[in-house]
Structure 1
């Protein structure tokens, strides 16, 4: 019997995850059955259950990938010296998620999937803990960036670094939500909007 390579196993797992992601993005987690996933990927139940014992494990695997991807993208983009300004950094990271394609799905599928993952954390304690860890890590990355901006004279020092971090993350989350809901968000819109906010100057009272 021919030995099954790790490359083959990884490719089959990827096939199942991509198929499940298409189903979930199209119909939601709870309206999608395992039979729907089997039909989508064109595999037998035995082949799929070899990798995932059920729908909850599929959801967890997709959520873990999404959280890790967002966190990793911020961490990678933040390592540049000097650090990129918020419009550039958010653009680099969001490009991965606004322009990401689930194979065989439309442009809105990946943002819709992210939105569903977020909502699923409200009922799933394990996913909520994963999201909390990812959010905390992103806050730490952005807080370090805020400190670097201040040291380079790019940002005032009278606002909490963590407060700035939370709002910058919220901008990214909001853009993903807009693309999922309306389909008209782009990296260019994000970059222009943040650049416009960065150009504002408060006037001293006369």
Structure 2
């Protein structure tokens, strides 16, 4: 009997994960059965159970993978040097995130935003997955606090606001846009960038520089 290559094994595992992701994004983790997954990927039960012992292991694998991908995207963007303007930075995060799975579509709709929302919900009921989420957020926050501190040092942001608060709000803006895309359909990343640019604009000389002085 010919040996199955690692490349084939990896491709089959990817096929199962992507098919399950479409099902989970469509109907949620717990309304989706293993029969739904088998039908989606067009494989026998034996072929799927060779890779995953059951639905819970499949859910765990997808949640961990998605959280890792999102964390890595935020971290990579936050480490740019020199960093682009804040609104461009957040927009780049969204662009990178949406390009993670360009082929993962369901009836012409991008799956990833809906899948991320399902993943967030799943972490509320699973302590181990919640731990993965919180560890990832801590790593992302550390990188983005450093990013905000650079913005403040360069006079691109107020220096009288804690960097940790600003970083968390920037992350929340990206997360909120993902939720909007999942709930209301896709929108150009430029919408988020333009909105942030408007929110960050000031009518008067009230931007506080690193030395405490006011600038225009």
- What band does the TM-score fall into relative to the shorter chain? over 0.9
CA–CA separation in structure 2 for the residues paired with 1:124 and 1:202 = 48
- Please state whether the residue corresponding to 2:109 is helix, strand or coil: coil
**2:177 matched residue in structure 1:** 175
CA–CA separation in structure 2 for the residues paired with 1:185 and 1:200 = 26
Aligned residues of 2:28 and 2:118 also touching (Cα < 8 A): yes
Figure out how many residues of one structure are paired with residues of the other and give that number. Answer: 204
Per-residue deviation at 1:161? 1.0
Note closer, same or farther for the CA distance 1:10–1:54 as it changes in structure 2 (3 Å cut): same
1:138 aligns with 2:136: no
1:63 aligns with 2:49: no
Offset from partner CA, 1:58-102 (integer Å, 9 cap, x none): 111111111111111122122222112221111111113345445
- Please state whether the residue corresponding to 1:180 is helix, strand or coil: helix
Aligned residues of 1:111 and 1:180 also touching (Cα < 8 A): yes
**1:186 matched residue in structure 2:** 188
**2:53 matched residue in structure 1:** 53
**2:90 matched residue in structure 1:** 90
Aligned residues of 1:97 and 1:176 also touching (Cα < 8 A): no
CA–CA separation in structure 2 for the residues paired with 1:76 and 1:184 = 23
Aligned residues of 1:74 and 1:138 also touching (Cα < 8 A): yes
Q: Is there any run of 5+ residues in structure 1 with no aligned partner, and where? A: none
CA–CA separation in structure 2 for the residues paired with 1:140 and 1:167 = 13
Q: TM-score of the superposition, structure 2-length normalised?
A: 0.88
CA RMSD of aligned residues (A): 1.6
Aligned residues of 2:104 and 2:111 also touching (Cα < 8 A): no
Q: TM-score of the superposition, structure 1-length normalised?
A: 0.92
Per-residue deviation at 1:148? 0.9
Offset from partner CA, 1:143-177 (integer Å, 9 cap, x none): 01011111222112111111111111110110000
Runs of 4 or more, structure 1, over 6 Å off, are none
Per-residue deviation at 1:3? 1.6
Aligned residues of 2:153 and 2:159 also touching (Cα < 8 A): no
